[in-house]
Structure 1
Amino acid sequence: MTTSSSAFSPASGAPAASALPAPHPRRWLILVLAWAAFTMTSLDRSVWGPAAPSVGQALGVALASLGVFATCYYIGYVVSNFLGGLASDWVGPRVVLTASMVLAGAGMVFFGSVESFALGLVAQALVGFFAGADYSAGAKSISSWFTGRERTFAVGLFTTATSLGTVVANLVVPTMIAEHGWRLSYHLFGAISIVLGLVIAVLHRSRPPQAEGAELATPTAPRTPHLGRVLRSRDLIVLGIAGFFSLWGTYGFITWSNTLMIEGKGIDPVHAGGIVALFAITAVVMKPVIGLVAGRVPFHRKYLAAGILVLFALMLLAFGALGSLPAFYIAAPVLGFAAYCYSPIQNALILDYAGAGDSGSAAGTLNAVWQLGSVVVPTVVGAVFASTGSVYSAFVTLAIGPLLAALLMLPLSGRFRSAAPEDEATATAPAAGPAAG
């Protein structure tokens, strides 16, 4: 991995301010559009939780079989994370974001109209396949429009989308289903996704102007994605494994927390939902804050992420040992902070290690690997809980993930790529001073 001497700050593990181009004011509109798309697909995904029982009744699907819908969604989601990253580097994020929103929205509307189990599975797979592309396209947009400390802050804002989608879905969808049925929620959010996709097509630009007064434009010719450089990067490989174990804890908790509290601790379902909502709301508030802080720490950001992950593991162990309702409400915001706030740092490090030219491929590939953690952990935790009958054993299983992730963050180096792919042949000088690894 190479970098120019002016592009790296050994103290903080961030690009040096002196090497950064002047920011363009349109960057905040680009961030809002990317964030809105990511929020919308996160909301579309989160509708399933409160809607699942009603869907099962309408389509004649047994409760034990409803998980197949989620499996189909995540298979499509993982695949499109990878392909969407390559497409973002090839044709630009505006095209990918537009297609992701319009086609995922159409899939939502389709699912809201199905009358059979088989068509429902197809519709969920289609929604997941198209929805998964927007993360890498948003990351590519941020990499192209933001630099330095601002980039970490922008990533923090961008990643609030996953938490916000969970909060909105759990606050709005149950009432909507009670009053109008589950199909309306899919039709409504699908239609909003399509409209947002059309707005993105008009307002988004894949890159800032190249010179003062130049017209904003997307890349004029396709460029071949450089996946080989991503796969040859030791730092990106290690970060991919660390993210897998990070999401092991986060999505394992989201999947099992309600059940473990209700069945294992005797918590009322309404209170269990309130605890999880408080858990997610904390993340919405704190992700931008941690992004702002991470861009200003006088040491490599990997240490900050590792510390948050250790806190996450400890809080999972503590949460599993709690026994009173007030204690769960007190612990929920601390756990929410730890369960989500490593994410802006890890996502920003992807962009730094990949460089602007390969940021879409790197983001899509690594997020596909990360999401495998969310696919595997529900089954593992369920097996542990079923075999032991112990809530605490389930939380110990969850805590193993972030603890391993924290250890994996430590060997990351401080060498970042900042040159565009076509310029990297000349960017071979080592970083000034010792790497912050």
Structure 2
Amino acid sequence: MKTSKYRWAILALLTLAMMINYMDRAALSVAIPFITKDFHLTAAEKGLIFSCFFIGYAAFNFIGGYLSDRFGPKSVFTWSMVIWSLLCGATAGVFNFWSLLAARVLFGLGEGPVSAISNKTINNWFPVRERARAIGINQAGGPIGGALAGPVVGLLALWLGWRTAFVIIALLGLLWALVWHRMSRDLPAQSEHVSPAELQLINAERQSVAATSDAEKANLLTIITQREVLVTGGALFCYNYILFFFMTWFPSYLIDARGVSLKEMSFFSALPWLMGALGFLCGGWLIDTLYRITGKLLFSRKVVLVCSLLTSSLCIGVVGLIDDTMQIVAVMTLAIGALMLAGPGFWALIQDSVAPSCMGTAGGFMHMLSNLSGIIAPAATGFIIQSAKTYTGGFVLAAVLGLVGALVIVIFIHQRPPSAMPVVKPA
């Protein structure tokens, strides 16, 4: 019987959505020199603007994931993309610090659900043996989008102005939402493009917990207070602190501390993103390969996570002590590549720990906890820079948190039998 591969078309759309997500998000970091000139922003004000995005974003990590369990990932993702694209375009209309602050909070609301919904969709559409790879491919779209933001938004801002740049990238999201609405389904069994053979492949390795009677219904508190959810969320907080420190402040660091031009910054800041995309792809492939060779599901996740976080932390700590700009870009590129090598492991861990019917809720809550770092990292870095007159302290703090994240995974993540996993009745 011929096996269709429509799940990979769904994954391609998810990856494209992640590209748009990061391009829209990183656009402000690229455009901030123009906006700073127009609105006369201080370093502390820029830090607050970077941070305020995560107020709405973190809240809707959880809310969006919960809604995807209730109403399905197809419709929730459609509305999420439409809302954040419209609000990205609305950034073109801001006129001072406070209006930009408000626009970023609302923009974060729209972008919040993306990772939890993507994770739930991958769980629905991929067999266990392919999940880490699928997660890695999906997440690779993020750094690719971040890499594109530098040259695309930078050159558009120079050519047409920063306001027009936000409108153009917003239109890409609206087009994606239309295609997603037409092509996607909540479950592969609902799609006319999925063959019986592909459906059998997808469902073949489902954990027995997925088939448990839905008469046993765990409440919301039971789902979000599982040790795996809380511990993985804490470790991902450390991971994301490094990511958001890089995303929000590295372009400004190159301009303010290293004296590079805006055009040079646009391309220099793209290099770590490209290495990050490779890291995600290799991380997912490496996890699945280790699982296939050893048959040890948890080991395959933990060893990649811990080694990658330790490598990234070492590189981040060194960056603040280097004087040569090209060496800084090279080490930061290695740091982000190693960091994102760990990325698929977090989402693979949460997929191993909860039932598919509550995947959105658990993954969204984990993601919400981790993205509290997005509120803290940019603002804390802004105040460190303003008080110390140097970026070194920001690099050191990010490195220390990476080490903490690795230790949390080593110490607190243990194997748990499927019978201990709570099950929630599908809506």
After TM superposition, list the pairs within 5 Å mapping 1:67-86 onto structure 2: 67-86=47-66
Moved more, 189-198 or 408-417: 408-417
**Contact 1:357–1:420 (CA<8 Å) still a contact in 2?**
no
The residue number in structure 2 matching 1:16 is none
In 1: Cα distance, 2:371 partner to 2:127 partner: 26
Counterpart of 2:322 in structure 1 is: 322
> Cα deviation per residue 1:24-44 (whole Å; 9 max; x = unaligned)?
622111111222222212211
Shift of the 334–23 alpha-carbon distance from structure 1 to 2, 3 Å rule, reads farther
Aligned residue for 1:414? Answer: 415
Q: Which amino acid aligns with 1:174?
A: G
> Distance between the aligned counterparts of 1:55 and 1:416, measured in 2?
53
CA distance in 2, matches of 1:359, 1:23: 26
Q: State the partner residue of 1:336.
A: 336
Percent sequence identity over aligned pairs? 25
CA distance in structure 2 between the aligned counterparts of 1:325 and 1:296, rounded to whole angstroms: 37
**Distance (whole Å) between structure 1 residues aligned to residue 374 and residue 417 of structure 2:** 28
1:62 aligned partner, one-letter code: L
Cα distance 1:93–1:226, how it changes in 2: closer, same or farther (>3 A)? farther
Contact 2:54 2:108 in 1 (8 A): yes
1:309-328 CA distance string (max 9 Å, x none): 11111112222222223423
Q: Do the aligned partners of 2:251 and 2:265 also contact (CA within 8 Å) in 1?
A: yes
CA distance in 1, matches of 2:33, 2:249: 16
> Contact 1:69–1:124 (CA<8 Å) still a contact in 2?
yes
Amino acid at match of 1:128: G
Report the Cα offset of residue 414 of structure 1.
2.2
> CA, structure 1 residues 256+69, in 2 after alignment: closer, same or farther (shift >3 Å)?
closer
d(CA) in 2 for partners of 1:416 and 1:197?
39
Contact 1:355–1:416, Cα closer than 8 Å, also in 2? no
2:11 maps to what in 1?
31
8 Å contact kept, 1:37–1:196: yes
Q: Which residue matches 1:356?
A: 356
Deviation at 1:119, TM superposition (A): 4.4
Change (3 A) 1:372 1:24: farther
Distance 2:178 2:261 in 1: 43
**Separation in 2, partners of 1:358, 1:23:** 28
- Cα distance in 2 for residues equivalent to 1:259 and 1:112: 21
Per the alignment, residue 394 of structure 1 pairs with 394
Moved more, 355-364 or 60-69: 60-69
- Seen in structure 2, the aligned counterparts of structure 1 residues 192 and 260 have a Cα distance that, compared at 3 Å, is closer
More helix by share: 2
Number of residue pairs matched by the alignment: 395
Give, in angstroms, the shift of residue 228 of structure 1: 2.6
Would the alpha carbon gap of residues 376 and 421 (structure 1) be closer, same or farther in structure 2, given more than 3 Å must change? same
**Does the Cα contact within 8 Å between 1:164 and 1:284 map onto a contact in 2?**
yes
Letter in 2 for 1:368: M
* Alpha carbons of structure 1 residues 348 and 24: separation in structure 2 relative to 1, 3 Å: farther
1:124 CA drift (Å): 2.6
Q: Unpaired runs of 5+ in structure 1?
A: 1-21, 217-223, 425-437
Judged with a 3 Å threshold, the aligned counterparts in structure 2 of structure 1 residues 30 and 416 are, in CA distance, closer, same or farther, namely farther
Q: CA 1:262–1:423 in structure 2 vs 1: closer, same or farther (change >3 Å)?
A: closer
User: Following the alignment from structure 1 to structure 2, what is the Cα–Cα distance between the partners of residues 180 and 93?
Assistant: 36
Number of the residue aligned with 2:346? 346
Residue 70 of structure 1, CA deviation: 3.1
1:244-393 equivalences under 5 Å are: 244-261=237-254, 263-264=256-257, 273-297=266-290, 298=294, 299=296, 300=299, 301-389=301-389, 391-393=391-393
Q: Are the aligned partners of 1:352 and 1:416 in contact in 2 as well (CA < 8 Å)?
A: no
Q: Structure 2 CA distance, aligned partners of 1:345 and 1:39? A: 20
Structural RMSD (CA): 3.0
Matched residue SS, 1:29: helix
Hey, what's the Cα distance between the residues in 2 that align with 1:252 and 1:140? 27
TM-score by length of 1: 0.81
Q: Does 1:157 align with 2:102?
A: no
Unaligned runs of 5+ in 2: 200-216
Distance 1:423 1:181, change over 3 A: closer
Q: Deviations over 1:40-86 (max 9, x none)?
A: 1221111111223434555x453453444433322111111111010
Q: Normalising by structure 2, what TM-score?
A: 0.83
Would the alpha carbon gap of residues 114 and 333 (structure 1) be closer, same or farther in structure 2, given more than 3 Å must change?
closer
Give the match for residue 8 of structure 1. none
**How far apart, CA to CA, are the structure 2 residues paired with 1:282 and 1:320?**
20
Aligned-pair distance for 1:307? 1.0
CA gap 1:182/1:225 in 2 versus in 1, 3 angstroms: farther
Contact 1:53/1:63, CA 8 A, preserved across alignment: no
Give the alignment of 1:213-232 within 5 angstroms: 227-232=220-225
Judge conservation of contact 2:218–2:424 (CA < 8 Å) in 1.
no
1:422 and 1:47 mapped to 2: Cα distance?
39
